[in-house]
Structures are given as C-alpha cells and as structure tokens.
Amino acid sequence: MGKPWYQPIVEALSARASWRTRRDRLRVQDGAIDTDPMLTPPNTDWAWRPSVWQSPISVPVHDGVGRKTRLDPAVSAFHDAAGGRVSLRQQPTPDGPAAYGLVIDVTGFDGSFVSVVLDLPESATQELNSTHLVCLTANIGHQTPARMFVRLNIRHGPNTAQMVQEVTLEKTSLAVEFDLTHAEINERRIENAWIDLISDVPDTTQIRLGDVYVMRRRRAEL
C-alpha cells in the first residue's frame, strides 16, 4: 500500500519547520537578534546571551582554579590571588530568565579582584559605529558587599578603546550602557570586542551571576 497523497506535503512542511528551528537556534548562538522580548528594547540590531547561561558546558565545575580559567570559547574567569581558593560552577536556574547561572566561590582570597571576561562574537562588531549603544544587563548576587566595574574594550587596529563604569550591587540586577559616541575608535579598523566584569572581593564570599545579556542598539535620533 503506497503513501497517502498528502504524505509528501506533510514531510516537506516538517522538513521546513525543522530547518527553521535549526536556523533560528544558530542565529541566537551566533549573536543575531535574540528571542527574549523582555530584554530586547526597540532599535536593537544585535543581542547575545553567552552559552554559559544558555546550555550545559563541558566542565560544569572548576574547583580550585588558577589565575585564568576558560569556561567555553567566549567566557573566561581571571583572578590575581596567590593564596586561597577560587571555584567556579555552572548551575541551573529554573526560575530565572536564563537557563543556567555561574557561581564563583572564594575562600581565603588574598588577591584584589575576580573578573569574568566575555569575548563578544564577530557579529557584535559588524557595522559597529558611533551611533550605537552597547548595553549589558545582568542578575548578580554578592554574599558580602563589593564593588564591581564593567569595562567595554574595542580593539581597532593597534589600539584598544576602553570605557569603564562602576556599578553598585545594592540590587540583584544591573544595567550598564556604553555610548560609543564618546569612544575614540576607528570604525573601519574594528577587529574585536570584549567585556570585563571586574569585582573587588573580600577574603571569603560568593558571587552569583544568574544571567548575563549583551545587546547593541541605535541611539534615538533627536
């Protein structure tokens, strides 16, 4: 008995739907417009949630790490301590905007900072120019009071432009916006960009990054 007359149509539609699903997933992973309408305001032309906050990483727990630890191709952690213990772990966040969070545990720390570095994908710098605002939102928890600095770095030719903002951690969420009209960059020579989340830490504490989301949008015309 042969296939029903409509079977080829059903198979074609199913294949098209699967292709669209794969395409949309790849677009999000590659840094195209993300599908989180709560975090993506008007005029956004690029948005990205690093994979550490989207899906399981190959090594979810790093216990007693050295001064540099790469969690995945886009996310690394640094510290400057000679003594003490720094551990990193990815954990599910079923009630959060992101599927996973990153927890940093610090014990007997004798350094001055712990930082998480986000290497922005190539799509972040395509057609990037002085009309853009680069924005970062995050859900952050500190066990003890601390200062945090968010630094945007844009490499253009032999130079690197840096913009830094200090943020207070009185709330569980933060939003930082960098206006590139104030950055001295050669737009034709932009090579790559990255963001540092730098935290001053006491000797023992826990830092929780429940979500990290980066976007760029056009400045509103006056």
- Within a domain: residue 12? no
- Within a domain: residue 18? no
Instruction: State the total domains in the chain.
Output: 1
Q: For residue 203, what pLDDT is reported?
A: 84
- Within a domain: residue 8? no
Backbone conformation region of residue 84, classed left if phi is above 0, alpha if psi is from -120 to 50, else beta: left
Q: For residue 177, what pLDDT is reported?
A: 95
Q: Is the pLDDT of residue 62 over 80?
A: yes
Identity (one letter) of the amino acid at 17?
Answer: A
Q: Is the pLDDT of residue 180 over 80?
A: yes
Handedness of CA 159, 163, 166, 170 (dihedral sign): negative
- Within a domain: residue 95? yes
Q: For residue 17, what pLDDT is reported?
A: 47
Which range marks the domain in which residue 199 is found? 31-218
- Report the CATH number that the domain containing residue 57 is assigned in CATH: 2.60.120.260
Average pLDDT, the chain: 84
- Within a domain: residue 17? no
CA quadruple 140, 63, 111, 201: dihedral, nearest 10: 20
Work out the average pLDDT over 47-51. Answer: 94
Q: What is the pLDDT of residues 6-41, one digit of tens each?
A: 455 555 555 444 434 444 443 444 444 444 665 678
Alpha-carbon Rg for the chain in angstroms: 20
User: Token match 């079977």: residue?
Assistant: 7
Q: For residue 221, what pLDDT is reported?
A: 62
- Within a domain: residue 19? no
What is the value of pTM for the model shown?
Answer: 0.82
Give the Å distances, CA to CA, from 156 to 121, 152, 192, 216: 15, 13, 7, 18
- Within a domain: residue 187? yes
Q: Under a CB-based contact definition with an 8 Å cutoff, are residues 114 and 78 in contact?
A: yes
Task: Show the tokens assigned to 217.
Answer: 């949008």
- Within a domain: residue 124? yes
